């Protein structure tokens, strides 16, 4: 028997629960960031792509102000009223509530709905399952409401939900790419003005996601510490954000900073530069240069920003030792989760076998490697 896709699954369960086919089906993808790590909250550049794994929701409008959602992963339903939104203890249901709250705060008149959701994005792996859930919920509210889908605005509101309702101080990258992803392309995002440019993936090369099988504990504390260090560095340079510091400024004045803060700043300044060069390399079809920039980015995150881990370093090293690898780096917030590699198409399947085997031998952990295709951002498919 072949496995059902996310879409088929939510449609089937919806039909079982409600006795009719769902009138509305929405999806919003997870993401993998090709390069540009910890640059978004420094108002810099990121280069993520939306992946072919998404949160799916099959739903129908209700005539009252109640939202009722069955989550297949959580094996439970949540129900809340839109006229009386109250924060509850930390749980998955705070995400849809938070999105509803952010939409109301913005003055949208939203209505109730009921449905079924499933998330194909592995949780806690650094592939933005939360952003994909938030954007799918936002898309659902738009489909049952009387307002238009404005992807950038929805990304901002979902980020607000995550920051202010769920309490995670993330930047804008994950929500933006889940909202505006473009099939077969990565998207260069300027996180200061949210302008975007879709850049094609290099011909002959594939993006391999490599899950180390490790998950982060204390997510917030280390992330917030990095944010504070970056703010301190920006203050020292007398600028609004590290985006405004050049390599030359760093060379001229960086010595006045303490060592840790100087290293953090060096990562952000050089990463912004690498990210723009990576987008240019993609446009010029220079897969090898792109791979080199991935390698440099990993070194910078390991040594200057200090967000790698032994399993991530092992995965990146083994990937680079495997035939057909053009470059590799950890991806996402860091500390655990996924790395990615740029791999020549024809080497992909031997790469998966070899790196999986050697990683398991070296670490005793069970990895998961898979090729990712770039997909569109949040959409309604019915
Ligand atoms: C997490 C955050 C993003 C971004 C990355 C690091 O994924 O949610 O906003 O800061 O870390 O690049």
Rounded alpha-carbon distances, angstroms, from residue 4 to 7, 11, 120, 199: 8, 10, 11, 31
The domains found in the chain, sorted by start residue, are: 6-197 (3.30.230.10), 199-372 (3.30.70.890)
User: 264 near 233, Cβ under 8 Å?
Assistant: yes
Annotated active-site residue in 40, 174, 211, 304: 174
Instruction: Please indicate whether residue 174 is annotated as part of the active site.
Output: yes
Question: Looking at ligand 1, which residue's alpha carbon is closest to its atom 8?
Answer: 170
d(CA 15, CA 114): 12
pTM (2 d.p.)? 0.97
Q: What pLDDT does residue 221 have?
A: 87
Q: What pLDDT does residue 218 have?
A: 58
* Ligand 1 pocket at CB < 6 A: 33, 37-38, 40-41, 170-171, 173-174, 332-333
Averaged in consecutive runs of 10 residues, what is the pLDDT profile of the chain (382 residues)? 83 98 98 98 98 98 97 96 93 97 97 98 92 98 95 98 95 98 98 98 95 83 95 98 97 97 98 98 97 98 98 98 98 96 98 98 98 97 84
Atom of ligand 1 nearest to the CA of 36: 12
Atom of ligand 1 nearest to the CA of 162: 8
Atom of ligand 1 nearest to the CA of 131: 8
Q: What pLDDT does residue 124 have?
A: 85
> What are the residue ranges of helices labelled H in the chain?
6-18, 94-105, 129-144, 151-160, 173-180, 219-237, 247-253, 259-283, 287-303, 310-321, 348-363
Distance 36 CA to ligand 1 centre (A): 9
Distance 331 CA to ligand 1 centre (A): 9
């Amino acid at each position: 028997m072949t496995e059902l896709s996310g879409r088929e699954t939510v449609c089937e369960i919806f039909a079982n629960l409600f006795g009719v086919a769902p009138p509305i089906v929405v999806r919003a993808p997870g993401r993998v960031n090709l390069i540009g790590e910890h640059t978004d909250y420094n108002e810099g550049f990121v280069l993520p792509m939306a992946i072919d794994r998404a949160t799916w929701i099959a739903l129908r409008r209700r005539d009252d102000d109640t939202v009722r959602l069955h989550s297949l992963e959580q094996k439970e339903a949540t129900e809340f009223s839109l006229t009386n939104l109250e924060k509850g203890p930390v749980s998955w249901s705070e995400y849809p509530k938070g999105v509803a709250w952010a939409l109301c705060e913005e003055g949208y008149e939203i209505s109730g709905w009921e449905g079924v959701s499933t998330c194909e994005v592995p949780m806690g792996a650094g592939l933005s399952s939360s952003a994909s859930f938030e954007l799918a919920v936002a898309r659902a509210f738009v489909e049952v409401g009387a307002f238009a889908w404005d992807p950038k605005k929805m990304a901002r509101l979902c980020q607000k939900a995550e920051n202010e309702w769920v309490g995670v101080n993330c930047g804008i990258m994950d929500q933006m790419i889940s909202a505006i992803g473009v099939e077969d392309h990565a998207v260069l995002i300027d996180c200061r003005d949210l302008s975007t440019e879709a850049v094609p993936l290099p011909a002959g090369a594939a993006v391999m996601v490599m899950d180390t099988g490790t998950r982060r504990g204390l997510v917030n504390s280390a992330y917030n510490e990095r944010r504070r260090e970056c703010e301190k560095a920006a203050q020292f340079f007398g600028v609004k954000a590290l985006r405004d510091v050049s390599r030359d400024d760093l060379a001229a004045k960086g010595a006045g900073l303490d060592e840790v803060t100087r290293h953090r700043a060096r990562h952000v300044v050089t990463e912004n530069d690498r990210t723009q060069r990576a987008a240019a390399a993609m446009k010029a079809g220079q897969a090898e240069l792109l791979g080199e920039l991935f390698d440099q980015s990993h070194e910078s995150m390991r040594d200057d920003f200090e967000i790698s881990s032994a399993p991530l370093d092992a995965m990146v090293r083994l990937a680079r030792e495997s035939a057909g690898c053009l470059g590799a780096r950890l991806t996402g917030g860091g500390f655990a989760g996924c790395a990615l590699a740029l791999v020549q198409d024809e080497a992909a399947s031997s790469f998966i076998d070899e790196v999986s085997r050697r990683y398991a031998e070296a670490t005793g952990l069970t990895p998961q490697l898979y090729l990712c295709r770039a997909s569109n951002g949040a959409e309604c498919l019915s």
